[in-house]
Structure 1
Amino acid sequence: MFILISAGIAPGLALLSYFYLRNQMSTEPRRTLLHTFIYGAIITFPIMFIQYVSEEEGTFSNPFLSDVIFASSIEEFFKWFVIFVAILRHVEFDDPYDGILYGAAVSLGFASVENVLYLLSFGIDTAFLRAILPVSSHALFGVVMGYYFGKSKFSKDNKQLEYLILAFLAPVLLHLSYNTILTLKGHLIYLMLPFMLFLWWFGLRKVKQAHRHLVQHLYENNKI
């Protein structure tokens, strides 16, 4: 069991470390990141409970509504809610790149618990594929979410509300696309490869943009 749990958590911690080390201008407190990761892990259980009740009650007669639209929306909403309530106004959310880190942390906390539960049910043989697909995709959904949270907090163009909405809608649309591809049959499932390449390109583009915003923010505040 220890091996399964380690295999389930390791990809999430590795990806979070990657985005943490990408920030060369300032160092975010590790304790706050760990707390955010734990928040993401905790929300796994109410999400699973809501999904279970919805399935048992037959809330959605169409599997696409249940497995794609509802699942994507509720997962991203809980992540968004955690950052909005617990992190956005935190004193240590003090530069635009922090959004990337906190978005990735809450998403990877959720993805890690989900991954552990999946591996406990289906075995370690699926660990590599899950690290490449579900775990990394959640990380990138979180990166995009966090980017727009950073824009909302530090933007000076009076579009704070617009960016807050994009912090929810952008990852939901990406998650919807990911889940939709998973439902495809036959050769259409191979659309996952170009989608993941796009997702990595898009996520890393947001990382670079956040880093530029960070440099500008430090310059304007006479910190560099």
Structure 2
Amino acid sequence: MSPNPSSNPTPNPSPAPPIWNAPPTARRGGLVFAIIGIVVAGLVGLLVVAYLASGLGVPTLLIGSLLALVPLALVLLAVRWVDRWEPEPRWALWFAFLWGAAVSVAIALVVDLGLQLAMAFAEPGGTPDEALQAVVQAPIVEELAKGIGVLLIFAFSRSHFDGPVDGLVYAATVAAGFAFTENVLYFGAALAEGGAETLGATFVVRGLFSPFAHVLFTACTGLAIGIGARRGGGAGVIGWFLLGLLGAVLLHALWNGSLAFADDAIGLYFTVQVPIFIAAILLTVLLRRQEERVTRARLAEYGAAGWFSPAEVEMLATQAGRRQARAWARAQTPPRTAIMRRLIADATHLAFTRQRLLSGRSGPQAAVDEHALLQAVVADRAELLR
């Protein structure tokens, strides 16, 4: 039975024995969507690769791709750190990355081509205003294309989208994919047009000075959708999406405008862009701490109902407890690290599902998820102690 959201969790009919005195039912919502989405995005990606190869040449494309892996690795390592507390499913992250790297890029390229053709018909011989493209066209088209990917993940995988941190993780992954393909294009074009010297300068600016630029922009959209999810989801998420999209577009336009119109680009970088980046880091840390507090509070309620011992709540809801738990699991014969990680993941998902139930605006699926996760925790425990 699922609990009444306004009351305590249903008592465990067989109170759980502690795993220690110190410190497989899986949710599959959205999996079919992700498989279809990954296949479609992969096919679009092949078209994007063919387009880039035809414009840059295969050798230049390969060099640009290798260099683009450097900022991509930096961004994905940061995303992994943010996602450590409540890891998102791999298939959802793969869809997010491929959407950014392929579908979002394809949308931007098609819109850009369409606008160029429209301008050519309207004003034969005219040339597009590069500053206008950078400050108006690129922010609107690119952020809309990326934001739709995050919105699709929310729509088809609601049970894995619990709040702002989840939105940040998905948005950052979409942005990482988009930035990777865009960097391939910029690095390849720099090498083809100006040689190694131009390529080096472009790599420093895009790969080292601003690898997180697209992440910062699209994070606005992801955070807003996450807030909408935390407040109960439903049609109201569209309003949050539009609000976040507006923030993403404005921040993107500010960033591009500072590069396009500034007399002292380096000075503006340190006075405007670096403070924005630092503020984003602080916000991320605060959101991570909020997740830890929610996990501890909700698991304590399940502990009072007999689903966890007090030591297990401490083990599952703190960083130190989790480190000790993984160390204990590694020391067993045979090692049980994978099982312990699954127990930690299921317990964390359970805490956030409980949080959705307490909001009073969750649908019936949240109660189903809670029941499945309680059974998963019991199964994880039995396997761990076997």
TM-score w.r.t. the length of structure 2 is 0.52
- Report the Cα distance in structure 2 between the residues aligned to 1:209 and 1:161, rounded to whole angstroms: 25
Between 1:166-175 and 1:91-100, the stretch displaced more is: 91-100
Q: CA deviation at 1:193?
A: 2.4
Determine if contact 2:64/2:183 at 8 Å carries over to the other structure: no
- Candidates 140, 143, 159, aligned match of 1:76: 143
1:25 partner SS: coil
Gaps of 5+ in 2: 1-58, 192-198, 300-315, 318-386
Between 1:181-190 and 1:30-39, the stretch displaced more is: 181-190
Query: How do 1:36-185 residues align onto structure 2 when only pairs under 5 Å count?
Result: 36-42=96-102, 43-58=104-119, 63-90=130-157, 91-123=159-191, 124-125=199-200, 126-155=202-231, 160-185=237-262
Q: CA deviation at 1:101?
A: 0.9
- Report the Cα distance in structure 2 between the residues aligned to 1:45 and 1:80, rounded to whole angstroms: 14
CA deviation vs aligned residue, 1:112-162 (integer Å, no higher than 9, x gap): 001001111112412222113453211222333222221111136997455
Gaps of 5+ in 1: none
Q: Rg larger in 1 or in 2?
A: 2
1:26 partner SS: coil
Check 1:83–1:144 CA distance in 2 against 1; reply closer, same or farther (3 A cut). Answer: same
Aligned residue type for 2:86: S
The number of residues matched between the two structures is: 224
Aligned residue type for 1:32: A
Counterpart in the other structure of 2:271: 194
Q: CA deviation at 1:189?
A: 6.1
RMSD between aligned residues: 2.8
Q: CA deviation at 1:88?
A: 4.6
- Report the Cα distance in structure 2 between the residues aligned to 1:94 and 1:17, rounded to whole angstroms: 22
Check 1:197–1:19 CA distance in 2 against 1; reply closer, same or farther (3 A cut). Answer: same
- Report the Cα distance in structure 2 between the residues aligned to 1:29 and 1:157, rounded to whole angstroms: 20
- Report the Cα distance in structure 2 between the residues aligned to 1:52 and 1:112, rounded to whole angstroms: 21
Between 1:128-137 and 1:70-79, the stretch displaced more is: 128-137
Q: CA deviation at 1:62?
A: 5.6
Determine if contact 2:82/2:169 at 8 Å carries over to the other structure: no
Aligned residue type for 2:151: F
Q: CA deviation at 1:185?
A: 4.7
- Report the Cα distance in structure 2 between the residues aligned to 1:157 and 1:32, rounded to whole angstroms: 19
Q: CA deviation at 1:18?
A: 1.3
Counterpart in the other structure of 2:54: none
